[in-house]
Amino acid sequence: MKTNNMMTVWMVCVAAVCVFLCGCGKKAREAPIKAAPAGIDLETTIGSVAEIIAIDAVEVRGYSLVGGLRGTGSSECPVRIRAYLEQYILKQLRKEQIDAEGIISSHDTAVVRVEGVMPAVVSGRESFDVRVVALADTQTTSLEGGWLYGTELKEAGRFGMTMRVLADAKGPVYIDTIERAAAEKRVGYVLGGGRTVTEYYVSIALRQPDYRVASSIRNRLIERFGRDIASAVSPGLVKVEVPAKYKNRKQRFVEILKATYLSHTAEAAQGRLKRFAKMLSGGSEKDAAEIALEAIGNVSFGELAPLLNAGNEEVRLRAGRCMLNLGSDRGLAALRQIAMDNNSAYRMEALEAITLGARRNDATAILRSLLRDGDFDIRLAAYESLRRLDDVVIRRRLIGGTFYLEEVAQTKQKAMFVSRSGRPRIVLFGGPIKCRRNIFVRSIDGGITINAPSGQEYVSIMCKYRRRGDAVAKLKSSFDVRDIIRTLGEQPLNKTHPGLAAGYADTIGLLKQMCDKGVIEAEFRVGPLPKIGLNIKK
């Protein structure tokens, strides 16, 4: 019997995943549901009768071309991949005269494998990093300075024009030289270059399919989260939309679903509240208790409020976060106190809770205060949160169409942060930041030189264009770091501020040299590389 039940759940799970991958953008037609069963056990939770199917991420893969190479590509390409790329190029460009074969065979292009982990999203398009790798056994020597042409990404392990597209990707190839001067140039990243084209939802697969139980789950979720949140697709499957407030907390929503009771009475709720509040205040299963209280809803306020003054800081954090997530501002003061406490071990958690749960004006006021904190990691986290909230305190400018220059002037300490995951960006804290006189730095390949001899009233920036027979362009900049970044990165034909079109990797490499030599008096911080493909098989 147990084997049959597990087989049923497995079949339902497979069906749900297929729905996700093959048509998750469409609303499922709701099956007729009989009345909810009477006398469901008071301790029955959704997690006790069903499996929660939540696809957090999907490995995706595709093949494409990196163009704009200086003869470092290769004409070699496996027959099957060549046929696919020719079809794709013709489909995208829609021109009969295009020479797809010539594009693929050019030594200024390289055929690459594109890999990434696509996040499951609630709606719309969400970006993610992708890795590009020159195909093995080809003569491609470097992807440096290249641009990934538009490519389709499909579920890893599947290939062909007829497979469903889950995401797409394109953009400049980033090859890291911050940590290693001798980088592997056949491998790079397109930071934030992937974009999802599918939508995310959660499925509840009953271990024993039953219309009555499915009806009870659907009705309970509608009661708790609102109309249209859930629909019964079959006796064994309930589809659940992720509420907007949990868009960035999908896993928490899944845990709340598991902890939601099917039978909800005032008397039963009071007993549960007391039990979970006691667990939260003094038990070892604080995670489970916090989730359970949030699943029950705002009737938890009466038990949570006294915990805001508990002697244990973790208890105060959890009680405040739970109340904030349930829509009560009463937890905000406790979270603010923790976030502002230099000695607290829970500052980051409190900061994140405020960002995700507080009203916008309340959150931005607290986060702006944290921009002046003495701990750089707290300042950086506050900046990231304000950026997520699109706050006006962050001034943003797109440089050369490839990376962002962002300024946070409210901070006292001068620092520079460069990202190596997500959208490429250089962040200046505590601006304006000026350079000292007497500058001389050069990019790793020798193509770009920044020079300002002692006594010179401007900075000379020289770039050698190897594609144009080693032609040299030379521009002037002030000693303001913002001006230097724009002079490096903007396009030559920019009418307001012509630049040298230096790539993101070259730009941040030069800035790091200037900070290391003390030319720029600011702390230099580097974000982590994408988590995909760190252990590359060569």
Write the DSSP string, 388-430: HTT-TTSEEEEETTTEEEEEETT-SS-EEEE-SSSS-EEEEES
Q: For residue range 99-127, what is the model confidence (pLDDT) as tens digits?
A: 888 899 999 999 999 999 988 765 667 89
pLDDT at 94 over 70: no
Asked if 112 and 132 count as a contact pair (C-beta separation under 8 A), the reply is: yes
Angle at 85 between CA 84 and CA 88, to 5 degrees: 90
pLDDT above 60 (res 68) = yes
pLDDT above 50 for 274: yes
pLDDT number for residue 95: 59
19 pLDDT above the threshold of 50: no
Please give the structure tokens belonging to residue 482. 């913002």
Residue found by looking up tokens 């990434």 in the block = 116
Interval 445-452 mean pLDDT = 92
What lies within 8 Å, CB to CB, of 59 at 6+ separation is 115, 116, 117, 118, 155, 156
Bridge partners (DSSP) listed for residue 464 = 472
Q: Which of 135-149, 154-168, 221-235, 503-517 has the least mean pLDDT? A: 154-168
In the predicted structure, residue 318 carries a pLDDT above the cut 50: yes
> What is the tens place of the pLDDT at every residue in 326-368?
999 999 999 999 999 999 999 999 999 999 999 999 999 999 9
Domain ranges of the chain: 2-55+200-259, 57-196, 266-393, 397-526
Is residue 420 a contact partner of residue 527, using CB atoms and an 8 Å limit? Answer: yes
CB 289 within 8 A of CB 272: no
pLDDT at 380 (0 to 100): 96
Greatest mean pLDDT among 22-36, 121-135, 239-253: 239-253
Mean of pLDDT over the chain = 87
Positive/negative CA dihedral, 114, 115, 117, 118: positive
The C-alpha atoms of residue 370 and residue 386 are separated, in whole angstroms, by 11
Task: At 31, list the tokens.
Answer: 């099956």
Adjacent-strand bridge partners of 113: 63, 133
**pTM for the whole thing?**
0.86
Helix axes of 332-340 and 360-370: crossing angle, nearest 10 degrees = 10
Q: How far apart are CA 465 and CA 438, in angstroms?
A: 25
Instruction: Quick: pLDDT tens for 129-180.
Output: 999 999 988 999 999 999 999 899 988 876 665 678 889 999 999 999 887 6
Is 520 within 8 Å of 512 (Cβ atoms)?
Answer: no
Please provide residue 371's backbone torsions phi and psi, each rounded to the nearest 5 degrees.
-65, -20
Average pLDDT over residues 429-444: 91
Residues in contact with 63: Cβ distance below 8 Å, sequence separation at least 6, in sequence order: 81, 84, 85, 111, 112, 113, 114, 151, 159
CATH code reported for the domain at 266-393: 1.25.10.10
Q: Would the pLDDT of 66 be above 70?
A: yes
Span 278-304, pLDDT tens digits: 999 987 899 999 999 999 999 999 999
* Token pair recorded at residue 462: 């020289």
Which DSSP letter does residue 203 get? E
* Residue 488: its H or E element: helix 481-489
Q: What percent of the chain has pLDDT over 70?
A: 87
Is the pLDDT assigned to residue 430 strictly greater than 60? yes
Widest Cα–Cα separation across the chain: 88
Statement: residue 57 has pLDDT above 90? no
Answer whether residue 23 shows pLDDT above 50.
no
Q: Dig out the tokens for 332 from the structure.
A: 């905000």
Q: Which of 36-50, 328-342, 503-517 has the lowest mean pLDDT?
A: 36-50
pLDDT mean over 251-275 = 90
pLDDT the model gives residue 117: 92
Do the Cβ atoms of 394 and 383 come closer than 8 Å? yes
Residue 386 structure tokens: 């304000």
Burial-class residue 60 by CB neighbours within 10 Å (0-12, 13-18, 19+): buried
Please compute the mean of the pLDDT values over residues 444-467 and round it to a whole number: 89
- What are the C-alpha distances in Å from 4 to residues 1, 7, 18? 5, 5, 21
Pick left, alpha or beta for residue 122 (phi over 0 → left; psi -120 to 50 → alpha; otherwise beta): alpha
* pLDDT on residue 56: 75
Beta bridge partners of 61: 115, 154
**Residue 6's pLDDT is what?**
46
Residue 14 has pLDDT above 60, yes or no: no
- Residue 469 has what pLDDT? 55
Strands 415-418 and 425-429: antiparallel
Q: Are 271 and 298 in contact (CB under 8 A)?
A: no
Q: Give how far Cα 40 sits from Cα of 43, 47, 261, Å.
A: 8, 14, 10
CB 450 within 8 A of CB 433: no
| pLDDT tens-digit map of 357-407 | 999 999 999 999 999 999 999 999 999 999 999 999 999 999 999 999 999
pLDDT at 116: 94
Length of the chain: 538
Which pLDDT does position 124 carry in this prediction? Answer: 64
Nearest to 323 by CA among 340, 339, 306, 310: 306
d(CA 200, CA 221): 18
Residue 73 and residue 145 in contact, taking contact as beta carbons nearer than 8 Å: no
- Burial (CB < 10 A; 0-12, 13-18, 19+), residue 493, is exposed
With cut-offs at 50, 70 and 90, classify the pLDDT of residue 35. Answer: very low
- pLDDT for 526: 96
Average pLDDT (208-219) is: 93
Question: What span, in angstroms and rounded, lies between the C-alpha atoms of 89 and 81?
Answer: 12
pLDDT band of 25, cuts 50, 70, 90: very low
